[in-house]
Structure 1
Amino acid sequence: MSIIIAKIQNKECFFFSDTKVSIESDDSTVFGEQKLRLAPEEGSLKVHILQRRMSIAFAGTVAICEEIIQSLFKKQPNKIPEYLQEELIRKNDDSEFILALVDKDFNPRLFKIDQKKCEEGNSFWIGNQNAFSEFQSFFVESDISDLMEKTSRAFQQMLENTKIPTIGDFVIGCHFTEKYSSFIYEDSISFAGSLKPITISANEWTQIGNETNEDGAFIVSNLISDQVQRPAVCLFFEYGNVAFLYFPITESHRETRPIVIKTQSRNQLQNYVLENFGLNLIGLTFKGGKINYK
């Protein structure tokens, strides 16, 4: 089972979830990135931006959660917490949800729902208990003052160090920003080499080595849609010639697994997504030893 963390501070609301990605073990068209050669499971998108002011995350039975989430578009937002619990009871399913709703004054509300209870609060987790314990140990030890940055770093450290086989290697997050009056997916860039994976964040200097793909290094960019009304997030592997494009559940789209795109470059990926889905992907990129945003 996965791990999802969600928190509120003032008018900030954010989610962090793990995910796995995979390619067929005998697929020779994608080189390197050996850690991607996993069984094709547990690669679902766990955090879904349903509306500009509503997001939901799940842990549990994927098919049942997909069905329940897709039915939410016909419900009034204030009725959704109770409805989610009713559906889990009706289906006798042990899945869990975290729901975020933001009112007209940009005040977020956070709910955790399972069969037994529906509760409101400012901090919740769902999924693997041991993974949460590992996250919490890093969170408590951190001296970072900003809650979102502190949570992000502790979550990343948990993924870097965990031995739990069901926990994925990569982070997908989203947050509500008053600037856009909307939830948006997190854009980021992560590096891993023979020492420790590192994640680049704003205003942070990081020494980057000269390791290669063959040394076990990789660079992955979380690219996002530039349209808040059409959210999407894409994990692009700079050295792997592969990208994983995720769309949240909508009234007409229930699939939570990604679209796997073979690509020779970031520009080729962006052109493909624009031509086939009408979306511009933007985010951080690493080229010539420099990190750029485009």
Structure 2
Amino acid sequence: MSLIVVRKEQSKIYIVSDTKLTAPTGHVFNKGQQVSAGETVIKTTIINALSCVSFAGNIEFAEIALKSLSPGNSVKAVTDNLLANHLLSDQATEYIYAVVEDGRPYIFEIKNGLCKEVESSWIGSQPAFSRFQGYMLGEKKKYPKQNFLSVTNADAGDLLLRLTEAMDGVIEDEDLPEVAGFKIKVYFDGKQFVYEGYLDTYFPAQQMQFHLTPGAMVPITHANAAQGGYTINFFNSRDNYNYVGLHVKQGNFGIVFERKNHGLLYPHLLENTDELDFLDAVKEKYKIWPSGTTQSATEKFGNLGKQYFDQKNYSAAIDTYSQGLKHLFSGEKATFYFNIAICQIHLNNIPSAIENFSEAVKLDPNRQREATKIMQSVFSSRK
């Protein structure tokens, strides 16, 4: 069982759901958050930019229903198909069809043997929905999370935020085992349906201070699993809705969900993968991106590059610093270009050293004097 809730607000549609995700090795974060890649699918599937289908119930019937649809189907063709499938499942599999036509949003609910147009809808667990409604109306959460920080898209709107908070409350509710895992958020942004990315981090009681540099990406602090902390980074999908991604920091794994053969989105597990490696693996291939990161690229690639440098493995150090450049902003990039130049000098590749010093100085003019002094020393030693 599950819970999917859909709301309409003016020209927008918002959809939130749970998903029972599980961890390789059986690592347990808290209620229901045991992540096993082989036992989960995304419950809302975007068919095209203007329509999506959500389901609760039998996965096999949902797979058949989705594969029978095509992006060019009329609204009636889709609803007829979903209703026929719902009846074939003996009403055990329910659907919500959200579509935008001629600029107007529509929600069709397929359950209890009927298909009808509605202003809002839910499918799945009745007790979970009752609890969800209570949270939407301001009821105090039975199992409130402590020290929780969430990074989301503010442009998505206040209603999606409220729906998300209510779904969080249901997912964490120990009395509702049928709803668990992580939340999935889908909304129509005025142009297309998108899977909304988010970054949730949980940590024990502590004082946090953020020192922000304008324009820089600042990693979010977090705790480790032994301290009761965990971080879920859901990668959004705007350019290609056939893929979404999820990374769990404390589990050191990521999952890519891929829509196969016009059916559901199925998971592919990437084990022993930190957040930045997962980002590198998916951003070009699948066109999915995170809302933020928790891992410091400066620390990861800077420390590893220095290790290689100390070992006199200058080529490996250059490769490491070069990889780090993809994740950094101007001030940090200047340091990495400078380090690459030093490595090039040790490899006797003076033209490349000069080129990298130049890049460092462009980003940080204060490095000009140091770079000039080093190159003068190099040229003097060759006389």
The two structures have a TM-score, normalised by structure 1, of: 0.80
- 1:6·1:15 contact (CA, 8 Å) conserved in 2? yes
Q: What is the Cα deviation at residue 24 of structure 1?
A: 4.2
Give the aligned partner of residue 160 of structure 1: 172
Q: If each structure's helix is expressed as a fraction of its own residues, which one has the higher value?
A: 2
Aligned 1:51-130 pairs, distance under 5 A: 51-73=48-70, 75-105=73-103, 107-114=104-111, 116-130=113-127
Return the alpha-carbon distance in structure 1 between the equivalents of residues 226 and 286 of structure 2.
35
The one-letter code sitting in structure 2 at the alignment partner of 1:104 is D
Q: How many residues align?
A: 266
Q: If each structure's strand is expressed as a fraction of its own residues, which one has the higher value?
A: 1
Give the aligned partner of residue 192 of structure 1: 202
- 1:33·1:216 contact (CA, 8 Å) conserved in 2? no
The unaligned stretches of length 5 or more in structure 1 are 27-31, 196-207
- 2:37·2:255 contact (CA, 8 Å) conserved in 1? no
Give the aligned partner of residue 139 of structure 1: 136
Give the aligned partner of residue 275 of structure 2: 266
The one-letter code sitting in structure 2 at the alignment partner of 1:182 is Q
- 1:45·1:248 contact (CA, 8 Å) conserved in 2? no
Return the alpha-carbon distance in structure 2 between the equivalents of residues 43 and 194 of structure 1.
29
Return the alpha-carbon distance in structure 2 between the equivalents of residues 240 and 14 of structure 1.
30
**CA RMSD after TM alignment:** 2.9
Change (3 A) 1:25 1:238: closer
- Paired residue secondary structure (1:67): helix
Q: For 1:170, which of 182, 185, 192 is the aligned residue?
A: 182
Q: What percent of counterpart residues are identical?
A: 22
CA offsets, 1:261-286, max 9 Å, x none?
Answer: 124322211222246x4424232222
Give the aligned partner of residue 21 of structure 1: 21
Return the alpha-carbon distance in structure 1 between the equivalents of residues 277 and 194 of structure 2.
24
1:246 aligned to 2:257?
yes
Change (3 A) 1:225 1:147: closer
Return the alpha-carbon distance in structure 2 between the equivalents of residues 101 and 55 of structure 1.
7
- Paired residue secondary structure (1:219): strand
Q: What is the Cα deviation at residue 246 of structure 1?
A: 1.6
Return the alpha-carbon distance in structure 2 between the equivalents of residues 161 and 110 of structure 1.
28
- 1:47·1:248 contact (CA, 8 Å) conserved in 2? no
Q: What is the Cα deviation at residue 86 of structure 1?
A: 1.8
Return the alpha-carbon distance in structure 2 between the equivalents of residues 218 and 49 of structure 1.
29
- 2:187·2:194 contact (CA, 8 Å) conserved in 1? yes
The structure that has the greater radius of gyration is 2
Return the alpha-carbon distance in structure 2 between the equivalents of residues 127 and 67 of structure 1.
19
Return the alpha-carbon distance in structure 2 between the equivalents of residues 37 and 11 of structure 1.
37
Aligned 1:209-228 pairs, distance under 5 A: 211-227=223-239
CA offsets, 1:61-96, max 9 Å, x none?
Answer: 001111111111163233211221122223434210
Give the aligned partner of residue 356 of structure 2: none
Q: Which has the higher contact order (CA 8 A, sep 6+)?
A: 1
- 1:100·1:110 contact (CA, 8 Å) conserved in 2? yes
- 1:223·1:281 contact (CA, 8 Å) conserved in 2? yes
